């Protein structure tokens, strides 16, 4: 079974993916910027899947930390078959002119610089290894969507769309595949944390999320299965398709959902 590396995998979608790949028999390397969180996650997962989990802490925007994550996985398991660039961040929803410089620098470093560095480093290793896959994680804005207050986040994800297409052309006829993972709207504490509960926009956003959103436990097992089944350059695995979204809106009046029951209100 394959060896999978997942950045940003101590919680949320990344953690869900790690658990799903392990349940499917894979070996998994997890990563995050907080060393204590990585250690805790590795211990919890290794208790259930002994010998199949390793981890490394580091910054996704630091090349030496990406190299260290590759080395950790390669040393433990002998090769890397699938690398998933899941690490990402958002900032407080607000007009761009109100954003703090430090926040803008951070989101660009994580969502764009980090992903670009990871692709450069990992693709080079995979070519030397003889092949493998890199999956880059889409987000709001990847398809050109725009809403007020999300200029920074959406711009980084729109850039990812271009990066994927460019890399796929650069690697034409090479044994390394660059693919796209699109989880849709997954309700996590990170998503909720982007909103101000006192804002008049929050109830409307919450209603939309309850229609179109899903939990980590619902989405990640399916994503993992599809990733393992994909074997072509430029593959895209998308949970929330246009057809599924249309169907959700059509049946929203008959199906009441509350995906926020277990998540603290912002």
Q: What angle do CA 11, 198, 191 make, to 5 degrees?
A: 20
Q: Nearest to residue 223, comparing CAs of 205, 237, 241?
A: 237
Annotated catalytic residue 49? no
Q: Given the structure tokens 């658990």, which residue do they identify?
A: 19
Is residue 42 a contact partner of residue 32, using CB atoms and an 8 Å limit? no
CA distances from 228 to 76, 85, 138, 198 (A): 20, 16, 18, 42
- Token output for 219: 């989405």
Q: Given the structure tokens 């890399």, which residue do they identify?
A: 167
- Catalytic residue chosen out of the listed positions 49, 153, 162, 195: 153
> What amino acid positions are annotated as catalytic residues?
153
């Amino acid at each position: 079974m394959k060896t999978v590396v997942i950045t940003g995998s101590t919680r949320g979608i990344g953690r869900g993916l790690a658990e799903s790949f392990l349940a499917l028999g894979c070996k998994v390397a997890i990563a995050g910027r907080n060393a204590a969180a990585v250690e805790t996650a590795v211990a919890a997962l290794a208790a259930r899947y002994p010998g199949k989990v390793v981890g490394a802490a580091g910054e996704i925007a630091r090349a030496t930390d990406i190299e260290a994550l590759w080395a950790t996985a390669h040393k433990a398991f002998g090769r890397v078959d699938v690398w998933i660039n899941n690490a990402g961040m958002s900032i407080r929803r607000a007009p761009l002119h109100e954003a703090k410089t430090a926040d803008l620098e951070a989101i660009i470093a994580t969502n764009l610089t980090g992903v670009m560095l990871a692709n450069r480093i990992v693709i080079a290793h995979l070519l030397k290894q003889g092949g493998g896959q890199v999956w880059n994680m889409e987000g709001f804005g990847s398809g050109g969507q725009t809403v007020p207050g999300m200029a920074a986040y959406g711009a980084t994800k729109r850039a990812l769309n271009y990066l994927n297409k460019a890399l796929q052309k650069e690697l034409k006829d090479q044994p390394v595949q660059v693919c796209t993972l699109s989880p849709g709207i997954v309700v996590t504490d990170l998503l909720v944390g982007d909103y101000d509960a006192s804002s008049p926009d929050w109830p409307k956003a919450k209603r939309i999320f309850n229609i179109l959103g899903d939990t980590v436990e619902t989405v990640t097992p399916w994503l993992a299965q599809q990733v393992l089944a994909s074997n072509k350059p430029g593959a895209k695995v998308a949970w929330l398709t246009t057809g599924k979204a249309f169907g959700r809106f059509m049946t929203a009046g008959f199906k009441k959902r509350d995906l926020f029951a277990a998540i603290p209100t912002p």
